[in-house]
Structure 1
Amino acid sequence: MPRPSTPLLSADRIRSAALAIIDRDGLDGLSMRKLAAELGVQAASLYGHVRTKDQLLNDIAASILQPVDMSGFDVDWREGLVRCARSYREALSAHPNIVPFLAYGPAGREESLRRLDILNGALVNAGWSRREATMIVAGLMFIVFGAALSSFSNGFSADPADYGDRFPNLDRAHLLPAVAAELDRDSFELTLAAFVRGL
């Protein structure tokens, strides 16, 4: 029997191709028809591996978030929050176009619910009420998702003339895009430290 000219489909291959489309074209750019064309198959072939586009997105999310570090809670709840937040931001920052999908919440994603269960349990065991634990986790997610979704520093023009005398306190704002990655990271760290210290 001759070897097929198109490599056989697999869940991993489908997820990788779909994520590449999302990274390149955004969430709205992903359709099952476009994904099938990218893989060199008919759209109907995909449905043997994924039932719906939402299931595919949930599978991609689980794959992206798999490296999130939940190990710090055996040391201290503060250390757990910091490790979780840093690794969460790192995972999301690599694929910012999928962040809006993830921001809707964890429903249907077993691994996300497991992480939230660990977070809430660690906080309740440390003495926080269930309501407070929920609010702390929500606050942490606001920080993480906000940091992963956009770059504050890249939002500035690199032309000094755009600021001039009209904005005297922004006279160095044109320098921000050149140090965006560093400044965005340091700003995230400052906010995370202030959040945890405030708690």
Structure 2
Amino acid sequence: MARPRKPLLSTGRIVETACALVDAEGLGAVSTRRLAAELGVSGPSLYNHFRTKDEILEAVADAVSAQVDLSMFEEGSGTAGDWRGALHDWALSYRAALARHPHIVPVLARGPGRRPAALRLADAVFGAMTTAGWPPAQATSIGAVLRWYVLGAALGSFAGGFVDDARAYDPADYPHLGQAHLLAERGSAVDERAFETGLRALLDGLETQYAALSAEAGRTRD
């Protein structure tokens, strides 16, 4: 009998199938038994690729990290030398990747660990900031605060947390929430505007710090 052109099982197929399960049903849907059934293989065959379910989820998380655009940190990009613009575009790409796969956020929130794509992400941000002249400690803090901000935004929708029933917001109890029932139907626009508002505020604050650092460096040279 001729060998199949494609192997029945591969690391990529396992990760892709696990990611689809997480997207559709959440982290609790992933088990080696369920994955084996979805892939049409026996359970033990998964252990040739991953030792545990946690390893599979780590691989899914890293596959999502690999979707984040890092090109804005590369030489020759439109944001080369513009650390603020690069951070802005990176944060938008990061949020978009997590919006496509919101259920994996709790795994991503553990930190990069040994995940290659996540480490490349951290390396790109830190390298760009230090190249721009930020001290290493500050560059580390910038990477951390932007990561916290994006992950926090990905945990849920602000607008989606309100119901579309005006009766829930009795003006006698909530005199300033008369339009709150409209938030849910406008959720995407509300959340995007809120994210951009917060991101701009963060970057404005960092720009103020950067100007202070530059001024201090100039006084030191003098």
Q: Same fold (TM over 0.5)?
A: yes
Alpha-carbon shift at residue 146 of structure 1 (Å): 1.1
1:105 aligned partner: 111
Does the CA contact (< 8 Å) of 1:23 and 1:97 recur in 2?
Answer: yes
Does the CA contact (< 8 Å) of 1:92 and 1:148 recur in 2?
Answer: yes
Does the CA contact (< 8 Å) of 2:63 and 2:117 recur in 1?
Answer: no
Does the CA contact (< 8 Å) of 1:15 and 1:60 recur in 2?
Answer: yes
Equivalence map 1:2-151=2 (5 Å): 8-73=8-73, 74-151=80-157
Equivalence map 1:176-187=2 (5 Å): 176-187=183-194
Structure of larger gyration radius: 2
Does the CA contact (< 8 Å) of 1:58 and 1:108 recur in 2?
Answer: no
Match of 1:163 among 169, 174, 196: 169
Question: In the alignment, residue 104 of structure 2 is paired with which amino acid?
Answer: I
Change (3 A) 1:9 1:173: same
Identity of aligned residues (%): 48
Separation in structure 2 between the aligned mates of residue 42 and residue 71 of structure 1, nearest angstrom? 40
Does the CA contact (< 8 Å) of 1:153 and 1:183 recur in 2?
Answer: yes
Separation in structure 1 between the aligned mates of residue 194 and residue 176 of structure 2, nearest angstrom? 19
Choose 27-36 or 158-167, whichever is displaced more. 27-36
Alpha-carbon shift at residue 131 of structure 1 (Å): 1.5
Gaps of 5+ in 1: none
Separation in structure 2 between the aligned mates of residue 43 and residue 27 of structure 1, nearest angstrom? 18
Q: Does 1:197 align with 2:204?
A: yes
Separation in structure 2 between the aligned mates of residue 47 and residue 155 of structure 1, nearest angstrom? 40
Alpha-carbon shift at residue 55 of structure 1 (Å): 2.5
Separation in structure 1 between the aligned mates of residue 190 and residue 39 of structure 2, nearest angstrom? 38
Choose 123-132 or 155-164, whichever is displaced more. 123-132
Separation in structure 2 between the aligned mates of residue 160 and residue 149 of structure 1, nearest angstrom? 25
Alpha-carbon shift at residue 2 of structure 1 (Å): 7.3
Separation in structure 2 between the aligned mates of residue 51 and residue 161 of structure 1, nearest angstrom? 52
Q: Does 1:188 align with 2:188?
A: no
Separation in structure 2 between the aligned mates of residue 2 and residue 170 of structure 1, nearest angstrom? 68
Q: Which string of whole-angstrom CA distances, capped at 9 and with x for unpartnered residues, describes residues 81-130 of structure 1?
A: 11111101000110100000000000111121122112112212222222
RMSD of equivalent CA atoms = 1.7
- TM-score (ref. length: structure 1): 0.92
Separation in structure 1 between the aligned mates of residue 178 and residue 41 of structure 2, nearest angstrom? 54
Separation in structure 1 between the aligned mates of residue 46 and residue 84 of structure 2, nearest angstrom? 43
Gaps of 5+ in 2: 74-79, 207-222
Does the CA contact (< 8 Å) of 1:120 and 1:134 recur in 2?
Answer: yes
